[in-house]
Amino acid sequence: MAADGFHIESRAEVLWQCMGQSKRPLGLLLGAGCPASIQVDGSNGDARPLIPTIDGLTTLISESIDSSKLRDQFRGLVAQLTEDQLGPPNLEAMLSRLRTLATVAGTHEIRGLTVSAIDALEAAITDAIVEAVSVDLPSGPTPYDDVAVWIRGASRSYPVSVFTTNYDLLLETALERRDAPFFDGFVGSREPFIDVAAIEQDSLPDRWARVWKLHGSSNWSLLPSGKVIRTAAKDRAGRRLIHPSQPPDALPHHAGQAQAVPQGASCHLGDDWLLLR
């Protein structure tokens, strides 16, 4: 126990030293473990994660789709992925496979799936992901609140950048709750749109945090016109942009605008960066 305590204290000291270097660009990387670390009461009174990790989400969403009218097509998808990967697939593998099939199928059936079935499965999985991650941040103090408070009070030569592969809006909720200004690549009010020039030039105030959603977000939508917008959390306008493991430029139904956020975020990284995860 003493050794463990020493290592924790030592790592904490190194962490604070890194964060205290105010003249170096600082980035925070938030992954799936962040929302999963927040425990809430489940339906049976047992503690459960606010948002499950990828394995938990896969189980939850698979059970939902397996009981829908897409059951046979879904089982066929899982069977082919299990055979190819020598193991059960997760949601990321399912979406990547469906989008790969969509790019080569044309108007023909491929691997036992019709074009309409591919499209329906992709939409069903994406919608189920959005529903699963559309939860409210608990009102009490949370680790997200702690990060937001620190960002708001940080005095640094460069803006703090937060990179996340998560689709939820927990970070944005905490930043707004704690009055911490941030920029996520979108501008506007009624239907905020991606401002590529603002991302590339990065000339906004340093006290504004930068929030980069690397794999899309539950509130990004693709309109029929091809325009990518940010919507209200519960708004179902357009098609949700969730791309967990395959870049949007490989997807014909995803607007190229969506590439601007992860690409713009990566172009700011340099050798002098401190990236904490």
Query: Whole-number mean pLDDT of the chain?
Result: 83
Residue boundaries of the structural domains of the chain: 25-42+140-276, 54-133
232 or 112, higher pLDDT: 112
- Residue whose C-alpha is closest to residue 60's, from 31, 91, 101: 91
Mean pLDDT of the region 104-119: 87
Tokens of 277: 């995860």
| 253 pLDDT more than 60 | no
Strands 228-230 and 216-222: antiparallel
Return the pLDDT at 112: 87
Helix 71-85 / helix 115-133 crossing angle, nearest 10 deg: 90
List pLDDT tens digits, range 255-270. 455 555 655 555 555 6
pLDDT surpassing 70 at residue 60:
yes
Flag whether pLDDT at 94 surpasses 80: yes
| 140, two tokens | 């009490």
Q: How confident is the model at residue 164 (pLDDT cuts 50, 70, 90)?
A: very high
Is pLDDT of 150 > 70? yes
pTM, full prediction: 0.84
pLDDT tens profile 167-195:
999 999 999 999 999 999 999 998 999 99
Query: What is the mean pLDDT of the segment spanning 43-47?
Result: 80
Looking at residue 219, what is its pLDDT?
92
In the numeric block, which tokens belong to residue 68?
Answer: 């829908």
Tell me if 230 sits within 8 A of 190, measured CB to CB: no
**């608990």: which residue's tokens?**
138
In eight-state DSSP terms, residue 169 is S
